[in-house]
Amino acid sequence: MSELFDRHRETLQRAVEAAHTRGYWSPYPEMPSGRIYGETAKADGEAAFQALLNAPFEIDQPTTGATVGKEESPYGFALGTTYPATDPVALVAAARAAGKAWAQASVETRVGICMEVLDRINKQSFLMANAVMHTSGQSFMMAFQAGGPHAQDRGLEAVAYAYDEMAKVPGAVRWEKPQGKQPPAVLDKTFKVVPRGVALVIGCATFPNWNSYSAYFADLATGNAVVVKPHPMAILPLALTVRITREVLAEQGFDPNVVVLAADEPEAPIAQSLVSHPDVAIVDFTGSRAFGEWIRTNAAGKQVFTEEAGVNSVVALSTDSFKGLCGNLAFSLSLYSGQMCTAPQNIFVPREGIQTDDGHKSVDDVAKGIATALDKLLGDPDRAIGILGAVQNPDTLARVDDARALGKVVHDSAPVSGGTIPEGARTATPLLVQLDAEDEAAYLEERFGPIAFVIATDDAEDAITRAAGSARTKGAITAAIYSTDESQIDEAAAAFAEAGAPLSVNLTGQILVNQSAAFSDYHVTGANPAGTACLTDAAFVANRFRVATVRRQGA
């Protein structure tokens, strides 16, 4: 039926199976290794990235003729890459026109093309790592993984879910209803998956690929044309994604405008025009609560999926590895300088302290334990920047400054210097501030970046209630508990289930609460204000298409 579908059939089948069983699986190796990606892959990726700097990005798509592009690497230099400026109305019109043939293509044709695109993106993982590193500020290793194979996993997962749901719609059916002694009533029916129209994917600056690929590939697989609106400070990774997709589309005989890039600059944003365009039927957005709310309010009648903001909590009640607790949390707070939507912010500790394998620990002891673990983890500058990466947005540093005044600073934030750290890199170690549960104004809002609080509560129940309550009312994407008491864990599990935050229990080793694995973890539940999308469940894909029917009287 479709050569590309046949070529990737086995991978797709394994992906569908993995989406059902939800254990560990990935077809895209996460190690940036020459043995896997080719001995010259690292150098080739670096050279390809350098060639993109200070030059127009080559992409043959509708444009006003002007260019845009003001990306700056958080490691201290301007990218200088420029992109075709676009008129939102003309862009949507082009996508809509191209989408007609895409909608007519078979499910297998579209899925095959998505699989091929993912495969080609995978082969460009080193180039993508550079592009993600120098827009988001992630460390090279993280940019390789989260911008490369892990994002590709999320894309493939969405294709698998979409395929699974579309495959459920039978193509041709004979409906034959017995009529007693009369001949049966017969209708021959054909069913066809039809897309909703033009889909809009709005990316974020911290995880331009990881947070966009699920929607992008779900939209494409279900037959929608896609307008990609990257964050103005993280265009390059999605521009590369769009370009690779357009290459495959053109090779397969489709108008490449099935996917188009809508690049803009911070001073002249175009997202609102795109969201409001009547032909845009689906909007996926990752970003701020404020713009998320604007979209939810102004996109009435459209399918809207968001990942916005939240306040993630840790409840520390007791542990059989105090060292493990402190080390694990220090890593969670440090990874990408707290710029992950999954990073914890609030660490609730009962005022009377907690029992540990290392004896009783007061709230002060817990705060100090984490602070000490931070110092140990981040003592060497090269190791530190490998974990912290750089700070994507200068506003984040201002937020760190402001947060110092909120309570007792137990670990101050500082830039990282020395080692091989590049001149001009924008870095910051985590700020840890000790508070009382009363200080709700301080901790009950998202303070995005390397900012965390150790918060004394009345008791264990108060800790769980406050943590789950803030998830329910303010949103949360993750939650964690440390407890040696199974009944407390059960209580917390019920409270966080109701609050819509997945709960990690007693993580004292290498696995962090921040981590979310495609095919296994449901990322964002859609059940609290942190977002309406869940990566990935059936609800994420099932409403991106509809079913057209033709019924004919049977013989």
Binding residues vs its own copies (CB under 8 A): 20-24, 103-104, 165, 168, 170, 173-178, 185, 187, 189, 191-192, 194, 196, 296-297, 300-301, 493-494, 496-498, 500, 502-511, 517, 520-522, 525-527, 534, 537-539, 542-543, 546-553
Considering the complex, state which of residue 387 and residue 481 has its C-beta at the smaller distance from its own copies. Answer: 481
Residue 394 C-beta: closest distance to its own copies, Å: 33
Closer residue to its own copies, CB minimum distance, 178 or 253:
178
Closest to its own copies by CB, 409 vs 497, is 497
In the complex, the smallest distance separating the C-beta of residue 369 from its own copies, rounded to whole angstroms, is: 19
Angle between helical axes of 107-123 and 125-136 (0-180°, round to 10): 80
Q: Which is nearer to its own copies, 100 or 376 (CB)?
A: 100
Q: Quick one: 243 or 544, whose CB is closer to its own copies?
A: 544
Min CB(539)–its own copies separation in Å: 4
In angstroms, the CA 211 to CA 288 distance is 13
Specify the 3-state DSSP secondary structure of 2.
coil
Nearer to its own copies, 51 or 550 (CB): 550
- Contact call for residues 136 and 147 (beta carbons, < 8 A): yes
Cα gap 121→318, rounded to integer Å = 45
Phi, psi values for residue 198, rounded to 5°: -95, 135
Pairwise CA distance, residues 172 & 189, whole Å: 6
Least Å from the CB of residue 345 to its own copies? 19
- Could you count the other beta carbons within 10 Å of the beta carbon of residue 352? 13
Angle between helices 125-136 and 41-52 (to 10 degrees): 50
- Whole-angstrom distance, CA of residue 329 vs CA of residue 323: 10
Residue number with CB closer to its own copies (191 or 291): 191
Cα(10)–Cα(317) distance, rounded to whole angstroms?
Answer: 46
Q: Do 311 and 468 touch, CB atoms closer than 8 A? A: no
Cβ at position 96, least distance to its own copies in Å: 11
The H-or-E segment that residue 78 falls in is: strand 77-78
Following DSSP, what letter does each residue of 256-314 receive, concatenated?
Answer: GGGEEE---BTTB--HHHHHH-TTEEEEEEES-HHHHHHHHHH-TTSEEEEE-----EE
Minimum distance between the CB of residue 26 and its own copies, rounded to whole angstroms? 9
Question: How is 139-166 classified by DSSP, letter by letter?
Answer: -HHHHHHHHTHHHHHHHHHHHHHHHHHH
| Chain center to CA of 404 | 29
Residue with Cβ nearer its own copies (70 or 472): 472
Q: Which is nearer to its own copies, 206 or 319 (CB)?
A: 319
Nearer to its own copies, 162 or 238 (CB): 162
Using CB atoms within 10 Å of the CB of residue 88, give its burial: 0 to 12 exposed, 13 to 18 middle, 19+ buried.
buried
The rounded distance, in Å, linking the Cα atoms of 478 and 285 is: 19
Give the 3-state secondary structure of residue 407: coil
